[in-house]
Chain A
Amino acid sequence: MGRRSIIGTSAAVVAAMALSACGGGADSGSSDTVRVTLVNHVWTENIRKALPEFEQQTGLKVEVTQLGEDQLSDQYNVKLNAGADDIDVMMYRPLQEGQLFAKNKYLADLTERAKESADFDLGDFQAAPLGATTYEEKVVGIPIITEQQVLYYRKDLLEKSGFSAPPKTLDELKTQAAKIEADNPGVAGFVARTGKAAAVTQFSSFLFSFGGDFVDEAGKSAVNSEAAKQAYAYYGGLLREHGPANISTDMSWSEAMAIFTQGQAAFYPEANSLYKNATDPAKSKVSETVGFAPFPAGPDGSKPYNVPSWGLAINDASKNQSNAWKFIEWAAGKEQTLEHQKAGTPGARTSVWENPEGIATYPADMADAITVSLANGVGHDRPLVERVAQAREIVGQPIVDAITGKDAAASADAAHEAFQKFLDDEAR
C-alpha cells in the first residue's frame, strides 16, 4: 500500500468515527425514542405485541432490550453503577433489588407523576404490591405482575391412585406423593426448586404455613424457630424421599418445571404466573392433565405468599423521563393490565380482580386457588433486606442440607447465627 493510500484510508476512518460520534449526540435531552429494558416473561411477549398501539397513540418509538433474569440483573449492576442514561424504563424485581436500587438513588421519584395522572389512578393498586415499590414514602416503581404460590398437580395420577381431590393439608400432600410414587415407577411424587437461593421464595409458603418467618417482629433472625426447623425438614425431606432420583441441588423454576411438564412428577408448588408453561401443549406433555390447587394448609393454616414479582421504574439518570413515564402510564394502565390479566399474567390492580372478565380466561381451579391466596397471602417471599442475594443464600442453606440428608435442625441453627450477624451488619 502506497503512502497516499494509507493517508486516504486513515482519513476515511477518522471521518467515519466523527460521523458516528455525531449519531451519538441524539442521546442528550428528551428524545422520541423510549429505551425500555425488559425481562423474558409472558408479560414482555404480550407488551411487545401491543407496542404498535402505543407508538401510534403517542408518536413515540419504543426500543426494547430483552434479557434473561440474571443477565438483566448484571446489566443493571453495570449500567446503573456507571450512571448510564441509555436506559429509560426498567423492569425490575421490587423484592429482590428494590431496596438496593432505591437506596443508591437509581430509581426516579414517580410520586407526583403517578398522583397527577387521573386515568392512571394510583389508588387502584393493591396496597401490598405498591408498598413494595415505595421507598421512604416515595413511589419509585409501579408493580405490574403479582405472584401467588399454588400447587400444580397431575389429575390423572391422583385419580389412578384413588384420590378424589388434591391435598388440603401438607400431611395429605406427603401421603399422596408417597402413594403416587409407589404406584408409578419412574414418576416422582414431588418436585420443587432445589437451588440454595432459588428455592427460598417457594419454600417461604411452607415456612409461613408452619407458623414461621425469616425475621421475627423484633427484626431478629427467626430461621431456627421450631416452626422453621419443621418447615426445612418437611420441604427437604419431601424432596429427598419423594423427589426425582439423583436430585440436583441447582434447580430453579425452569429445571423443576421441565421435570413436571415432562410428566415425571405428581406435585409441584410454584408461582401461578408461570402456569402457561404447564398448560401450553407446545411446552408441556401434561397440558391436558395438569390441575391447580390452593397451597395446602400446615399447622398454621394455608399461608402462601402474594407478592409483586416485577415492577416498572424510571432510571434516575435518564434524560427522557417524561416520555418514559408515558410508557409506564400506558403499560401499567388499567386497560393494559386487564389485557395482561386475561392473557394469564396476574396484575396488581384491584379493578382487574373485581372485573369478572379479569379471571374468566383462567382455568377454573386456578382462579379458585388464587382467590384463596389473595385472602390469606403473605406479602413477602424472601427476607426483606437490602442485600437480598446474600440473605437468600444464608437462609437457603438448610434447604439444600435437608435435601442432601444432613441434619436440618443443626443447619438451621448455623443459618440462624449467620443470618443474625448479617442483619446486625445491615443495621449498622
Chain B
Amino acid sequence: MPAVTAPERAPRGASVMPDTPGWARWANDHRKWLFAAPAMAFVAVLIIFPLAWTVYLSLTDSAGSVRAESEFIGFRNYVDVLSDTDRFWPAVARTGAFTGVALFFEVVLGMAIALLLWRPFRGEKWVRVAILLPLVATPVAVGMMWRLIFDPNIGLANQALGWIGIGPQPWLAGQHTALPTTIFIDIWQWTPMVVLILLAGLTSLSDEPQEAAMIDGASAWQRFRHVTLPLLMPTVIVAILLRGIDALKTFDILYATKGRGGGSFHEVETLNVYAYGLSFDYNEYGLSSTVLILFFLIIIGSMWALTARRKGADR
C-alpha cells in the first residue's frame, strides 16, 4: 500500500510565472497585508496615534501650550478629576440624564411614529418629508431657532403659554429649566432619525407572522407586543446604539443655546462641553485629556453593555 503523503505545498511564488521579478513575487506573497495596508495606515494615523497621544497628555501636567515643557505626573490628573465633585461628577450626571431622558423619548416616540407611517395612506409622502425635516437642519441653526422661540421676554413659547393662561417660563435662561429644555430640543431634532431606522426595519418584516396572529384572533396590541416588537428588536437596539452614542457626545445644541461652560451655573455642562472648556478656555491640556479618556471609557462601556444585551436578545 503506498504511503499516504500529504499533498506537497506549492513552493512560494509558484503560481507566478518563473520569470517575474523578485518584488512582484514578494508582493504576491504578502498581498493580504499589502491590500490592507492603506486602511491600516489610515486607522493608525487618524485614530490610534491621536488616542495614544491623548493618553500620554492625560499623564502630564501640560497646560498653556502643548509645545511648552510639561512634566510626567502619572495618574495625578485622574485622581484630581475623579475626586472633583464640583465640575466633573455633575457633568457626568448631566451627560447621563441628557442621554437617558432624550433616548427614552426618542425611541418611544420614534416607534409610535414609525408604526403610524408603516402602512400606506394618502399623502404619505408629504407627511414623511415633514416629519424628517428637523433631521436635515443644521444643529447650530436649530439651536439659534429654539433660542429665539424660548426667549423669556419676546419668545413664541411664552406667548403661546400666555394664550392658555400660563405665566412666562424662563426656559433656557433658568438655572433648573435649561437642561430639560435642551433635552426637548434634542428630542425634537433626533426623533426623526429613530423613525427612519425603525421604519426601515418594519418594512423589511414579512407579513406572514402578522397574518397568522390575526387569524389566531390577536388584538392590535398583542400583535405589536408579541409579534412586531420581538421581530424588530435587533433594529431597535441598533437605533438605541446609534442615537445613544450620538446623544452622549452632543455638543452643538448645547453650545449654540448656552455658550461656553454650559451657562453661568454650568447648568447644561456635559462631559463634552466640560472637556472643550478645559482645553479651549482654560488651556489645561493634561486635565482635558484625562476627562476625554474617561469620557471615551464611558462611551465604550455603554456600547459594550448594549451590544451584550443585543447578543442576549438574538439568542
Contact = CB atoms under 8 A, between A and B. Distances in A.
B259 interface: yes
B80 interface: no
Contacts of A106: 65
B265 A400 contact: yes
A345 interface: no
B261 A197 contact: yes
B287 to A, nearest CB: 11
Contacts of A393: 261
B281 A245 contact: no
Interface in A384-410: 386-387, 389-390, 393, 396, 400, 404
Contacts of B263: 249-250
B173 A70 contact: no
In this complex, which of A197, A249, A404 has the most chain B Cβ atoms within 10 angstroms of its Cβ? Answer: A249
Given A77-B280, A246-B152, A248-B152, A195 B64 contact: no
B283 interface: yes
A197 B281 CA distance: 11
Interface string A247-258: 111101000000
Nearest to B282: A390
Nearest to A404: B175
Interface residues of B, number: 28
A94 interface: no
Contacts of A73: 280
A74 B265 contact: no
Interface string B136-161: 00000000000000001110001000
Given A104-B68, A386-B64, A248 B280 contact: no
Contacts of B153: 244-246, 259, 264
Interface string A236-270: 00000000111111101000000100101000000
B243 interface: no
A80 B67 CA distance: 9
Contacts of A404: 175
Interface string B257-283: 011110111000000000000011111
B66 interface: yes
A46 interface: no
Contact of A100 (B67, B154, B264, B283): B283
A187 to B, nearest CB: 11
Contacts of B64: 100, 103-104, 386
In this complex, which of B152, B153, B258 has the most chain A Cβ atoms within 10 angstroms of its Cβ? Answer: B153
B66 A81 contact: yes
A259 B153 CA distance: 10
Given A246-B153, A248-B152, A387-B282, A83 B172 contact: no
Given A196-B261, A250-B264, A389 B173 contact: no
A400 B65 CA distance: 31
A249 B176 CA distance: 12
Interface string A188-215: 0000001111000000000000000000
B201 interface: no
Contact of B175 (A249, A259, A262, A396): A249
Contacts of B260: 70, 197
A249 B173 contact: yes
Contact of B281 (A80, A246, A249, A389): A389
Interface string B58-80: 00000011111000000000000
B170 interface: yes
B100 interface: no
B96 interface: no
B168 interface: yes
A63 to B, nearest CB: 25
B68 to A, nearest CB: 6
Contact of A249 (B66, B67, B169, B264): B264
Given A246-B153, A249-B265, A104 B280 contact: no
A71 to B, nearest CB: 10
A195 B264 contact: yes
B280 A400 contact: no
Nearest to B152: A246
In this complex, which of B173, B175, B281 has the most chain A Cβ atoms within 10 angstroms of its Cβ? Answer: B281
A81 B67 contact: yes
Interface string B161-189: 00000001110111100000000000000
Contacts of B174: 246
B200 to A, nearest CB: 29
A396 B152 CA distance: 23
Contact of B173 (A100, A104, A247, A259): A247
Interface in B244-302: 258-261, 263-265, 279-283
A190 B42 CA distance: 57
Interface in B91-110: none
A258 to B, nearest CB: 9
B41 to A, nearest CB: 15
Given A74-B280, A104-B68, A246 B168 contact: yes
A256 to B, nearest CB: 12
B262 to A, nearest CB: 10
Contacts of B258: 250
Contacts of B172: 248, 250
B65 A250 contact: no
A80 B152 CA distance: 40
A147 B173 CA distance: 29
A196 B66 CA distance: 27
Contacts of B261: 196-197, 393
A426 to B, nearest CB: 11
Contacts of B168: 245-246
Nearest to B155: A246
Contact of A196 (B67, B264, B280, B282): B264
A247 B151 CA distance: 10
A404 B174 CA distance: 10
Given A73-B280, A103-B64, A104-B64, A250 B173 contact: yes
Contacts of A100: 64, 283
A389 B259 contact: no
Q: Which 4 A-B pairs have the closest CB atoms?
A: A246-B152, A248-B173, A196-B264, A104-B65
6 contacts: A80-B65, A103-B64, A196-B261, A246-B152, A387-B282, A390-B282
Given A100-B64, A194-B264, A387-B282, 18 more contacts: A74-B280, A77-B279, A81-B67, A100-B283, A103-B64, A196-B261, A196-B264, A197-B261, A246-B153, A247-B173, A248-B152, A248-B170, A249-B173, A249-B264, A250-B173, A250-B263, A259-B153, A264-B153
Interface of A: 70, 73-74, 77, 80-81, 83, 100, 103-104, 106, 194-197, 244-250, 252, 259, 262, 264, 386-387, 389-390, 393, 396, 400, 404
